[in-house]
Chains A and B, each alone.
Chain A
């Protein structure tokens, strides 16, 4: 089984003015196959840096990442990425975007086309295969991004605020889709978000990170993702524990922000 180990990662880099930034300090965690972990934290807590290190776009200054017992040294098809927006290839049709990974590997059309068609069905874009990317709405574009990532059959999917640019209604729908895809495919997913509700709804595990230096502040194990699979997510939100957790985490992040910015009364 695929296990993602983040082993004592630190990230520190020099600034041109002679100072340095400690973006991450001693971050360790382990994800079992099929786990969905959402990551929350105030801006500047290093969550995107962590994701980029796991993706292989950045090298940590200390520690290492291993996936299935081999070390991560660069980007690879085993770790797929879903970005906030604008990462689709506008010069390709929806189908060519989704089949990009298999095509880059030189797979034959007969091999990847059934998967691609199936995934487009699953994300509800059956009738949009030949469309150009710019003809789709924002929500549809993110469905393409999800399908494109899944078509490559990665072991781990890294999502960097995948629903951040969507309007509130589309976002709720897409949260259901992410849950559905997660359960159906059994992928290991790390999802970065700014929305506490989204982190609670989607994260089987929830990681709250703290800034300066970026580190793990607290970790939760939550039941809501399992409750929400195939159900109306609004029902899940009515769960008493849900609102309790939301308040708790909001307060936690609120305090961190205040530590950075200073209290509103003081600065006024």
Chain B
């Protein structure tokens, strides 16, 4: 239900922001460049430019939705809150002889994530004690219980009554309303009900916000990020987890490129090498690196070695195929021209074939880095002492969703930065790409 509300709001934000921004653009920022003069834009891909205002608003929208549908303390609009605090209700116990008595139940709803919070003195939060209540008059006695937010509690109210189950007392009404076993009544604070056997239950109202277990609030995630940087998790700081993952990727990719590129060149330059390595490369190419993890663990254990070798294998075939494609992409007239200008085979290789294959190599490097980054996280999920993948895996076992989210965001950002880095390097080293 809440999911549909979020989706509807997101879709609404998309269109409302579009209308607002385009009105603003027309009013203030109308540009008269060539593309702006095109009347046919729907279907002309070259006329489609990313609207950066849309990008910013998109991120803001996600952030606002994140705040709105979690128990965030930020001063921003929020969805209806789950109930927190004390609530009382009455029950009516009726004996077989017709005698009836009312008693009050005090329910204290506490934060479900209390154990993950700390007070001003740094002490971890504790589940509060049930409120003290007077027993009251009559045979039915007042009760007091605690229930976590988003929780559910079966309250054995008859347990402390003078005349209870053994006297065949039956609960006939809750808050003065007659209730049969299995029925529920709604309160603003939550839902009262009777189990099939007639015991009262209470589940506090959940509102439309997600509990911390599913999605922690943004500021909680940020706090966790800071904490991970300072105190670390599982003996290593966040930076150390990140660096070890990155190091594995860089090492694996480096060796993969070191072996794969010459292999690809050999395959592109000689019949024998092409024939010899074709079966291996074509066989290994479709094998997802993740499928190799078990074998790598069997062969090389769970240490660094097995991970670097796994990433080496992930990068190797991609780089070999990229280098091979780079060689076959050389226009024969360039090679002929070089030979006619007196170049030796070695000179043709270094001055013509290698530079000409750089665009393909870079495309391969981007793919390989992406695959390596995905593979390292997966490999760490399976077995590791350090690394982002290990961090989110272990955190998930302890239901520390905020660490999982910090890890996922970091993995995404680093993957993106790697790609941007390679693209910048490519722009610098291969300025002619796409302009020939």
Answer yes or no: A79 CB below 8 A from chain B CBs: yes
Q: How far is the CA of A134 from the CA of B430 in the complex (A)?
A: 12
**Contact status B340-A81, CB under 8 Å:** yes
Q: How many residues of A contact B (CB 8 A)?
A: 30
Q: Are B347 and A134 in contact (CB under 8 A)?
A: no
Report the interface size for chain B: residues with CB under 8 A from the other chain. Answer: 23
State whether the Cβ of B79 lies closer than 8 Å to any Cβ in chain A: no
B342 touches A133 (CB 8 A): no
Report the minimum CB–CB distance from A242 to chain B (whole Å).
32
**CA separation between A55 and B436, bound complex, in Å?**
26
Residues of B336-362 contacting chain A, CB below 8 A: 336-344, 347, 351-352, 355-356, 358
Query: B334 at interface (Cβ–Cβ under 8 A)?
Result: yes
Q: Are A75 and B355 in contact (CB under 8 A)?
A: no
B interface secondary structure, majority = helix
Number of A-B contacts (CB under 8 A): 80
Kindly provide the distance from the CB of A28 to the nearest chain B CB, expressed in whole angstroms: 23
Contact partner, B356, options A74, A91, A134, Cβ 8 Å: A91
Question: Known interface pairs A101-B342, A104-B343, A134-B436. Does A87 touch B356 (Cβ–Cβ under 8 Å)?
Answer: no
Which of A75, A90, A133, A134 contacts B340 (CB under 8 A)? A75
Say yes or no: is A57 at the interface (Cβ < 8 Å to chain B): yes
A260 and B432 alpha carbons, distance in the complex (Å): 42
Closest A residue to B430 by CB, please name it.
A91
Known contacts A100-B341, A104-B347, A152-B342, A91 near B336 by CB under 8 Å: no
Cross-interface CB contact of A81 among B337, B343, B430, cutoff 8 Å: B337
Q: How far, in whole Å, are A80 and B334 apart by their CA atoms in the complex?
A: 13
Q: Which residue on B lies nearest to A101, using beta carbons?
A: B341
Minimum CB–CB distance from B338 to chain A (whole Å) comes to 7
From residue A150, how far is it (CB to closest CB) to chain B in Å? 11
Give the one of A55, A83, A133 with max B CB within 10 A: A83
B435: which A residues are within 8 A, CB to CB? 90, 134
Tell me whether B118 is interfacial, beta carbon within 8 Å.
no
**Minimum C-beta distance from B342 to chain A (A):** 3
Residues from chain B with Cβ under 8 Å of A105 in the complex: 342
CA of A57 to CA of B337 in the docked complex: distance in angstroms?
A: 10
Q: State which of A74, A81, A86, A148 has its C-beta within 8 Å of the C-beta of B436.
A: A86
Chain B 315-348, CB-CB to A under 8 Å as 1, else 0, gives: 0000000000000000101101111111110010
Smallest CB–CB gap between A100 and chain B, Å? Answer: 5
For window 63-98 of A, CB contacts with B under 8 Å fall at: 74-77, 79-81, 83-84, 86-91
Q: Cβ of A132 < 8 Å from any Cβ of B?
A: yes
For A138-151 the 0/1 string (1 means CB < 8 A from B) is 00000001001100
| Chain A, Cβ-Cβ closest to B339 | A75
Given the complex, which residues of A lie within 8 Å of B338, measured CB to CB? 89, 100, 104
Q: Say yes or no: B432 contacts A132, CB within 8 Å.
A: yes
A74 to B356, CA, bound (A): 23
B122 at interface, CB cutoff 8 A: no
- Chain A: CB-nearest residue to B433: A90
Q: How far is the CB of A21 from chain B (nearest CB, A)?
A: 19
B3 within 8 A of A: no
A89 touches B341 (CB 8 A): no
A89 contact from B352, B358, B431, Cβ within 8 A: B352
What does the 1/0 interface line of A87-119 toward B look like (CB < 8 Å)? 111110000000011001100000000000000
CB distance from B355 to the nearest CB of A (A): 4
CA distance A89 to B352 in the complex (A): 7
Q: Which residue numbers of A lie inside 8 Å of B, CB to CB?
A: 55, 57, 74-77, 79-81, 83-84, 86-91, 100-101, 104-105, 132-134, 145, 148-149, 152, 154, 158
Known: A104-B338, A152-B341. 9 other contacts (CB 8 A): A81-B340, A86-B333, A86-B334, A87-B331, A91-B355, A101-B341, A132-B432, A134-B435, A148-B337
